[in-house]
């Protein structure tokens, strides 16, 4: 049994584990199946709702500061919920599943090693989605920390020049998109992002936000995808505005984009979001009601442990800033221009894809009229 000690570092303002000497996380943990970027060794609780990420002390400190520092309050909605830290007292109950590939086997090995380290307990952003399409975009033009050796600094500068990082402030670390026919995710690894040039980035957006065609069964229909793209774009704009007012330096951080890949559910979630926005405009704030529903569902889940519950309808997309192992505040030095450049590039790419999908949606609409 894995547990978060009652003394775990979940600061005021953050989501906290339930009271008690130890809070059970799950009977077992496994390598995170939906991981598309970052270091191997990230694990998930059995129900998939939480991730357990081995961390450097600096990352845990940043999450604690994020929860406690009023100057960072505007950034909190753009980061995963932080529940605290833990040290696993026993090795994770992970086993190699027969037939798994080399990468997954390596993930299992890393999970065993990670069990002995202090780890962050975070919400699994992709857990709310039935078929999560996930993209990890590494932000920034500087890929080395201030304490890096001259050799590592030179190596990272060369990597930035050879990839899209130095010129655009982004690199597509990896992504997955579900196939509508097989119902399984199709992964694109970090090799793709390292191999492409800045001019190829729009093609990367098309790969992550595809529209089904006669030659591909991936993606959402254009009329469904379009409002999702626009919603993601709006959140990235808000994140960019917030980061422009915070004096920090981020090395190795990413913006994580997730959207629903199951067509009918994506349509249901988009309808839910539109109704929620209409209520907000009318002054009908149902946030407290949503929290009560979540608590009720949590209690139901405890009573029916082991039974898989249907996913609750919610937002069809999520955008979060992640990976703060090399993030620090720098009062008086201004915002991170490399990270802002990366978000500007991301916005440009999203706007370009929106224009393309708008045309496809118009063509589909015209075809239906004929």
Most confident of 21-25, 146-150, 270-274, 344-348: 344-348
In the chain, ranges of CATH 3.30.470.160 domains: 128-369
What is the mean pLDDT of the segment spanning 140-154? Answer: 94
d(CA 278, CA 280): 5
Residue 306 has pLDDT above 70, yes or no: no
Chain centroid, CA 245 distance in Å: 22
What is the 3 state secondary structure string of 347-360? HHHHHHHHHHHHHH
d(CA 12, CA 7): 13
- Listed in sequence order, the residues at least 6 apart from 249 whose beta carbon sits closer than 8 Å to its beta carbon are 142, 146, 327, 328, 330, 333, 336
Residue 16 has pLDDT above 80, yes or no: no
Task: Look at residue 4 in the predicted model and tell me its pLDDT.
Answer: 40
CB 110 within 8 A of CB 41: yes
d(CA 364, CA 207): 20
What is the mean pLDDT of the segment spanning 63-76? Answer: 96
Q: Which of 133, 104, 131 is nearest to 32 (CA)?
A: 104
Task: Look at residue 215 in the predicted model and tell me its pLDDT.
Answer: 84
Q: How many residues appear in the chain? A: 370
pTM to 2 decimal places: 0.81
Q: What is the CATH number of domain 128-369?
A: 3.30.470.160
What is the 3 state secondary structure string of 105-116? HHHHHHHHHHCC
Residue 272 has pLDDT above 80, yes or no: yes
- Listed in sequence order, the residues at least 6 apart from 166 whose beta carbon sits closer than 8 Å to its beta carbon are 141, 157, 160
- Sheet of strand 82-87: strand arrangement: 29-31, 43-45, 50-54, 118-123, 82-87
Tokens (6 digits) for 187: 């992964």
Residue 98 has pLDDT above 50, yes or no: no
Task: Look at residue 285 in the predicted model and tell me its pLDDT.
Answer: 60
Task: Look at residue 236 in the predicted model and tell me its pLDDT.
Answer: 99
Task: Look at residue 46 in the predicted model and tell me its pLDDT.
Answer: 82
Task: Look at residue 196 in the predicted model and tell me its pLDDT.
Answer: 98
Residue 368 has pLDDT above 80, yes or no: no
Count of helix runs (H) and strand runs (E) in the chain? 10, 14
Phi, psi at residue 227, to the nearest 5°? -65, -25
Three-state secondary-structure class, residue 250: strand
Residue 257 has pLDDT above 60, yes or no: yes
Q: What is the pLDDT of residues 342-355, one digit of tens each?
A: 999 999 999 999 99
Q: What is the pLDDT of residues 226-246, one digit of tens each?
A: 999 999 999 999 999 999 999
Task: Look at residue 54 in the predicted model and tell me its pLDDT.
Answer: 87
Three-state secondary-structure class, residue 31: strand
Environment class of 62 (CB within 10 Å of its CB; exposed 0-12, middle 13-18, buried 19+): buried
pLDDT band at 45; cut points 50, 70, 90: confident
């Amino acid at each position: 049994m894995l547990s978060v000690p009652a003394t775990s570092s979940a600061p005021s303002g953050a989501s906290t584990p339930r009271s008690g000497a130890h809070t059970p996380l799950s009977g077992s943990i496994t390598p995170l199946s939906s991981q598309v970027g970052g270091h191997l060794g990230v694990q998930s609780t059995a129900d998939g709702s939480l991730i357990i990420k081995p961390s450097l002390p600096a990352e845990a400190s940043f999450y604690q500061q994020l929860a406690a520092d009023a100057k960072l309050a505007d950034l909190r909605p753009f980061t995963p919920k932080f529940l605290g830290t833990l040290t696993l007292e026993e090795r994770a109950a992970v086993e190699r599943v027969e037939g798994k590939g080399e990468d997954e086997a390596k993930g299992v090995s890393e999970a065993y090693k990670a069990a002995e380290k202090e780890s962050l307990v975070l919400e699994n952003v992709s857990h709310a989605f039935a078929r999560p399409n996930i993209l990890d975009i590494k932000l920034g033009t500087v890929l080395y920390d201030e304490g890096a050796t001259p050799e590592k600094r030179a190596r990272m500068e060369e990597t930035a020049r050879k990839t899209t990082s130095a010129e655009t402030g982004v690199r597509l670390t990896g992504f997955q998109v579900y196939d509508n026919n097989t119902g399984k995710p199709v992964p694109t690894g970090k090799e793709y992002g390292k191999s492409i040039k800045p001019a190829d980035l729009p093609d990367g957006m098309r790969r992550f936000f595809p529209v089904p065609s006669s030659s591909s069964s991936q993606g959402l229909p254009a009329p469904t995808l379009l409002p999702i793209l626009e919603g993601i774009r709006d959140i990235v704009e808000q994140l960019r505005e917030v980061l422009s007012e915070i004096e920090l330096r981020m090395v190795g951080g990413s913006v994580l984009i997730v959207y629903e890949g199951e067509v009918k559910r994506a349509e249901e979630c988009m309808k839910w979001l539109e109704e929620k926005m209409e209520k907000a405009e009318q002054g009908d704030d149902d946030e407290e009601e949503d929290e009560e529903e979540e608590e009720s569902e949590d209690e139901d889940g405890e009573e029916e442990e082991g039974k898989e519950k249907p996913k609750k309808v919610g937002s069809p997309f999520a955008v979060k800033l992640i990976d703060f192992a090399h993030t620090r505040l720098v009062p008086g030095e201004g915002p991170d221009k490399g990270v802002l450049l990366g978000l500007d590039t991301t916005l440009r790419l999203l706007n370009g894809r929106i224009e393309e999908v708008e045309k496809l949606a118009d063509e589909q609409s015209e075809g239906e009229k004929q």
